[in-house]
A and B are shown apart, each in its own frame.
Chain A
């Protein structure tokens, strides 16, 4: 699906899970291409290399997840893709254009919902439309549709603090999807939610993603969430973050929660757990 300059090395490293490793097939030009990305943070105690030689290509409409130990620079990588954090070295190319400024054809969901208390739920979802100067009526219709689809019908005029954590994160998801961006970046969006809510959010996200099929990159700590949602899972090593391996997930969509009990799913999880280095 995507050309991955690092896949040869990944395949070498993958060892026991080689069968699950994606075999690159340049079926189409990558939507997002990262080449030799390096990120070094300077501090009083010397430089810390957060990311090293990251080469990664994401195909259009592909859903990939990035997992790895804490401090492996997952979130930093996502912010580099969005053009919000500059890489120390290397290049980011999105739709054949090098990224030099914040990418605006993108919807981002962070771990915190970042809803503004001074706006209603609807006002928060409409924020991107206001800032981009989109047509108000159309944006409003779209926002109402999105809110209804995630079960927030009737809460449009409530304030964020009147909502539960899961509902707030759903509103944040609607905000990210409002302007039909071609890229969806998810930075541990469900990390703060309880397990049951998280399952529901995974189903919601899958359904919303299947509708418009934006290119999606999910950063997560949860192996099962990564396998459930992704076409491909990228494993970063501990600091400095490097791509340790990647695993292609061949499970039919739409996936139900029950897929997690299937032998294939369990095998993927097992392989990824080994790759991260957990016992």
Chain B
């Protein structure tokens, strides 16, 4: 019948280091040039160093404060991770319930929108009054900021299935649960992971804001203290740690995404990305 087709051979992989040059080398080059220019500007006295310290000052302070800052970073990291995990799990579960139980959607969805439009930062002080200056208020703010995008994206993803795909599964005898497991959830994964990337950055903002409002630990607390003493070098040290923590957490989410939705078109759009 059909002439046997031979599977085309996959394109030969390039050596791993060859692809590292553009993906790591180019951004690193930009970083080096900017920092070198900044250092040179500071040494030439183009700006007062008590306002904008030289990179070398920041680096020196980073090294001397590594232990203490590491501890603060760990505290903040805990808050972010707990807030994010809560946001992700509650967001996905609530979306599934909303999509499946129509009356539930009608009852709760308007209130979720109200919760979303209320500026969470504004209830920070109230949370401090209620929950003290420990971990809890930070986790709550972090969760509140991060959870809405997960909820919305998951809802959209779960609903974006073709009628014919549902027909196909139902003709195989699948009920609503199997339709969810075999079709809706995997179909929604790319959107869920997209929202998780937004959620992790919002969770970071939430934890820092929580620490601004009232705390005795964390990177946000260090920022507030160093502002009080006009210690700009320490502020930059805190920036460095916050950036490091953020990049690390974002990368974790991206890696998990890569593992879970490697099949999705967004993860394999090689020709498109090469255009830019």
List the interface of chain A (C-beta within 8 A of B): 79, 82, 84, 102-104, 106-108, 110, 112, 114, 116-118, 127-128, 130-132, 149-155, 158-159, 161, 167, 170, 179, 200, 203-204, 207
Contact = CB atoms under 8 A, between A and B. Distances in A.
A110 B173 contact: no
Contacts of A152: 5
Given A108-B171, A154-B6, 10 more contacts: A82-B171, A102-B173, A107-B171, A110-B167, A117-B264, A131-B172, A132-B173, A149-B1, A151-B5, A170-B2
Interface in B1-43: 1-7
B178 A131 contact: yes
B168 A207 contact: no
Contacts of B2: 149-151, 170, 200, 204
B162 interface: yes
Contact of A84 (B4, B170, B183): B170
B44 interface: no
A161 B2 CA distance: 20
Nearest to B170: A102
Instruction: Specify which of B164, B172, B178 lies most central, judged by the most chain A CB atoms within 10 Å of its CB.
Output: B172
A76 to B, nearest CB: 12
Interface of B: 1-7, 162, 164-165, 167-174, 178, 182-183, 186, 189, 261, 263-265, 268
A114 B165 contact: yes
Contact of B172 (A104, A118, A159, A167): A104
B207 to A, nearest CB: 33
A105 to B, nearest CB: 9
A163 to B, nearest CB: 10
A65 B174 CA distance: 27
Contacts of B3: 151
Given A84-B171, A102-B173, A116-B186, A167 B5 contact: yes
A104 B173 contact: yes
B168 A110 contact: yes
Contacts of B268: 161
Contacts, number: 78
Contacts of B263: 117-118, 159
B5 A103 contact: no
B184 to A, nearest CB: 11
A203 B1 contact: yes
A127 B182 CA distance: 9
Contact of A108 (B7, B168, B183, B189): B168
Contact of B5 (A117, A127, A155): A155
Contacts of A179: 172
B168 A114 contact: yes
Pairs of residues from A and B, 9 with the lowest C-beta to C-beta distance, nearest first:
A151-B2, A154-B7, A104-B173, A102-B170, A131-B172, A128-B172, A118-B186, A118-B263, A84-B167
A203 B261 CA distance: 36
Contacts of B172: 104, 127-128, 131-132, 179
Given A102-B171, A151-B2, A131 B182 contact: yes
Contacts of A130: 182
24 contacts: A79-B167, A102-B170, A103-B171, A107-B171, A108-B168, A114-B164, A114-B168, A116-B182, A116-B183, A117-B263, A127-B182, A131-B169, A131-B172, A132-B173, A151-B1, A151-B2, A152-B5, A153-B4, A155-B5, A159-B263, A167-B5, A170-B2, A203-B1, A207-B1
Nearest to B3: A151
Contacts of A159: 263
Contact of A158 (B1, B6, B7, B186): B7
Contacts of A110: 164, 167-168
Nearest to A148: B4
Nearest to B168: A114
A38 to B, nearest CB: 21
Contacts of A207: 1
Nearest to A152: B5
A153 B3 CA distance: 11
Nearest to A166: B2
Contacts of A84: 167, 170-171
Contact of B173 (A131, A153, A203): A131
